[in-house]
Amino acid sequence: MNIKLNIKSIIKFEQFTNKSFNEIDYTNADDLLKLMYCIVLSNNPEVFTYEEFLELIKSKKISKTISDKFNKEIKLIELFSNKEIKDEVVEEQQSEKEKTYIKDIAAILVVNAGLDINFVMNELSINDISLYMEAYNNSVKQQMESSRL
């Protein structure tokens, strides 16, 4: 069973729960189960409902496999995350009371920045989004400055 937290699985989570990925409460079992469901659904050829997934993870073997792989994936992401940038973004969002959806950022990166959709959906790490958005914003600023001159 493939477990990978990619943009595709995050977008599925946002659509399924109608909440921003930044709003996940990692102490809430319901949020975690829904995130795991979206990860499994996005990275495996089998298609099943959320209710079927809940039945599936009642098996201790399957539940342990999914949980272990999920925890490993989260630890890997944390290893490469820039906590300073994350804290600044969280503070900025809290002050603006604005929700940032990964699905909107992914659309900008594909439609406006011209990144390959397969790369964005399947390969782009959540940690690297800020790098590409910063490059895109710098490009827009340069274009605006060039057109102004």
Residue 126 in domain: yes
Residue 2 in domain: no
First to last CA, the chain: 55
Using CA atoms, how far apart are residues 46 and 58, in angstroms rounded to an integer? 18
Q: What amino acid occupies position 12?
A: K
Residue 1 in domain: no
- Span 18-67, pLDDT tens digits: 999 989 988 999 999 999 999 999 999 999 999 999 999 999 999 999 99
**80 falls in which pLDDT band (50, 70, 90)?**
confident
Confidence (pTM): 0.81
Domain count, the chain: 1
47 touches 41 (CB < 8 A):
yes
Give the burial class of 125: count Cβ atoms within 10 A of its Cβ; 0-12 exposed, 13-18 middle, 19 or more buried: middle
**By mean pLDDT, which of 40-54, 77-91, 112-126 is the weakest?**
77-91
Instruction: Give the residue numbers spanning the domain of 23.
Output: 7-148
pLDDT at 145: 86
* HEC-encoded secondary structure of the chain: CCCCCCHHHHHHHHHHHCCCHHHCCCCCHHHHHHHHHHHHHHHCCCCCCHHHHHHHCCCHHHHHHHHHHHHHHHHHHHHHCCHHHHHHHHHHHHHHCCCCCHHHHHHHHHHHCCCCHHHHHHHCCHHHHHHHHHHHHHHHHHHHHHHHC
Using CA atoms, how far apart are residues 100 and 104, in angstroms rounded to an integer? 8
